[in-house]
Structure 1
Amino acid sequence: MRQTLFGLLCLGLCGQATAETLPLPESLIALNSDNGQALLIEAEARADYFDLAIHFTNQVHPAFCGPASIAMVLNALDVPRPASDMTLGLGMFDQENVFTPATEAVKPRARIERAGLTLDELGRMFEAHSVAASVHHAADSSLEEFRRAAIDSIGDAESFVLVNYLRSSLGQERGGHISPLGAYDAETDRFLILDVTRYKYPPVWVDAAALFDAMNTPDSDNDDRSRGYLLVVR
């Protein structure tokens, strides 16, 4: 029964995660492991998982974790979608049509390809698509505030939370990264990161305190501000 239910919950997302090429530290739990599956089934907050999973996308460029996450969340929010050759004109956001003249004014695509997005730039990219985005730098927040806001967002199916964190702080390959959160398990105090680099790592369950510490690190492009999280609602 558990495997049948998990198959329905997974919606094809975890089948791609088997392409993992980098080992996970023991502190992280892969979603497609037995323990990871059980956490999703038993999670107290998981409403966002379903809308995000059916729109899950893998970043197509090493610096496109931000654009991939933006496309995924815009689709989950059911924001009106422009045509794109990448999705055969089916009206879905992708990592081509997510770039518009308005987003170019925030940060040109060519610069994103070189340096990615900071947390503040990520928020302004959403605003360029007429979506409300609330930026929260970890240094100006707290673990308790983050946990409460993230759980509320994950559970309401109307808003989404994205995290900007330092991978090496979690024992993963170095560098900053952006991905949405899909679920929360209260018993283990873990969040599910729907990692958009499936060629590196599967979606993982991470301890809330460890995730907050990974966000409370200097942003690589803006050293006077920390990384953090973003709450998005249409």
Structure 2
Amino acid sequence: MKSLAVFFLLNLAAAAGAQQVKYAPADGALAVPLSTDNSYFRSPAHPAYDYWNLSSFYAAQKNDYSCTSASAAMALNALLNSRRQRGDQDENITEDALTEKISKLKWKELTSEAGLDGRHGLTLAQLAAGLKEAAAAYGAAGAAVTAVEVSSRTGLALENFRKALSSNERDPRDVMLLHFAQDALTGAPGGPSPHVSPVGAYDEKTRRVLVLDVDRRWYEPYWAADVQVFKAMAVKTKNFGHGGYAVIKAAR
């Protein structure tokens, strides 16, 4: 009887110590960390402009609510500061500096720990407006910003998303930001968790998206099936509605 009791207690301890794996299956799909699968970047057939431009300025969001400003800072650094000669006095764009320059949108307040009127974070439409204003504030008033809300999971909408990913992968002058439910990609419990991060690359052959997740406290970059990213963007929440994607493109 004593040995049975000990066995029971050991099983309880093991169960209590068990943890859900990181990048758990989500809706049958599994995200793959870049550290375990990086062959895409070792092929000369893949210039991967966005990956190299963005990774040079890969930043972690400073708190649980500032994924939008961290992602925007990465995008503007990639477009305005990468692949050019810079002066010693030129600073990188940070999320704090970026939000200080924005007046039409309460970006600083919405991404603070305190929030604004009980709210945190930006909707897709607010993100697009903020990107446009931020680009102008940093001297790129000619930058174009487009946003596409994924409000229905139709075949046409998925095909348009894939076309946008392919175009983005080939063009070093634009960056795509995803507005999505993070848990729908990582399998983390407790969702839905609206989130924003840049697209680092798109492998058209395998139809996988590299998400440069700014939630660096918990994640590294990871690959996710484009259809799963599409589903994650279509998730609707009370405060943010549907997600989608925003593309910011520098003027020629």
In which range does the TM-score fall when normalised by the shorter chain? 0.7 to 0.9
Q: Deviations over 1:8-43 (max 9, x none)?
A: xxxxxxxxxxxxx9711251100011xx11233347
C-alpha distance in 2, partners of 1:159/1:56?
A: 16
Partner of 1:104: 103
Please report how far the alpha carbon of residue 202 of structure 1 lies from its aligned counterpart in structure 2 after TM superposition. Answer: 0.9
Number of residue pairs aligned between Structure 1 and Structure 2 = 202
C-alpha distance in 2, partners of 1:163/1:221?
A: 17
- Check the 8 A contact 1:45/1:183 in 2, yes or no: no
Partner of 2:40: 39
User: In structure 2, what residue type is equivalent to 1:39?
Assistant: Y
TM-score by length of 1: 0.79
Change (3 A) 1:78 1:218: same
The residue matched to 1:180 in structure 2 has which SS? Answer: strand
Q: Which moved more, 1:172-181 or 1:214-223?
A: 214-223
Partner of 2:219: 201
The residue matched to 1:49 in structure 2 has which SS? Answer: helix
Please report how far the alpha carbon of residue 214 of structure 1 lies from its aligned counterpart in structure 2 after TM superposition. Answer: 0.4
C-alpha distance in 1, partners of 2:238/2:98?
A: 23
| Structure 1 residue runs without a partner (length 5+) | 1-20, 80-87
C-alpha distance in 1, partners of 2:148/2:95?
A: 25
Q: Which moved more, 1:134-143 or 1:150-159?
A: 134-143
% identity of equivalent residues: 26
Alignment of 1:134 onto 2:142: no
Alignment of 1:211 onto 2:229: yes
C-alpha distance in 1, partners of 2:96/2:248?
A: 21
CA RMSD of aligned residues (A): 2.4
C-alpha distance in 2, partners of 1:148/1:108?
A: 30
Give the structure with higher Rg (CA).
2
Change (3 A) 1:186 1:111: closer
Please report how far the alpha carbon of residue 106 of structure 1 lies from its aligned counterpart in structure 2 after TM superposition. Answer: 1.4
Please report how far the alpha carbon of residue 44 of structure 1 lies from its aligned counterpart in structure 2 after TM superposition. Answer: 4.6
1:63 to 47, 62, 65: 65
C-alpha distance in 2, partners of 1:64/1:222?
A: 15
2:166 to 123, 147, 151: 151
C-alpha distance in 2, partners of 1:220/1:177?
A: 14
TM-score by length of 2: 0.73
C-alpha distance in 2, partners of 1:108/1:153?
A: 26
User: In structure 2, what residue type is equivalent to 1:196?
Assistant: V
User: In structure 2, what residue type is equivalent to 1:91?
Assistant: E
- Check the 8 A contact 2:107/2:130 in 1, yes or no: no
Residues 70-109 of structure 1 mapped to structure 2, 5 A cutoff? 70-78=72-80, 90-101=90-101, 103-109=102-108
Q: Deviations over 1:133-185 (max 9, x none)?
A: 10100126711100111210122111111101002222135311100101111
Please report how far the alpha carbon of residue 105 of structure 1 lies from its aligned counterpart in structure 2 after TM superposition. Answer: 1.9
User: In structure 1, what residue type is equivalent to 2:145?
Assistant: A
Please report how far the alpha carbon of residue 186 of structure 1 lies from its aligned counterpart in structure 2 after TM superposition. Answer: 2.5
User: In structure 1, what residue type is equivalent to 2:34?
Assistant: L
C-alpha distance in 1, partners of 2:22/2:245?
A: 25
The residue matched to 1:72 in structure 2 has which SS? Answer: helix
- Check the 8 A contact 1:164/1:179 in 2, yes or no: yes
2:206 to 188, 194, 215: 188
C-alpha distance in 2, partners of 1:39/1:97?
A: 34
User: In structure 2, what residue type is equivalent to 1:147?
Assistant: R
| Structure 2 residue runs without a partner (length 5+) | 1-19, 82-87, 137-142
C-alpha distance in 1, partners of 2:107/2:51?
A: 30
Change (3 A) 1:220 1:94: farther
Change (3 A) 1:178 1:45: farther
1:166 to 162, 178, 181: 181
User: In structure 1, what residue type is equivalent to 2:92?
Assistant: M
Change (3 A) 1:121 1:22: farther
Change (3 A) 1:219 1:159: farther
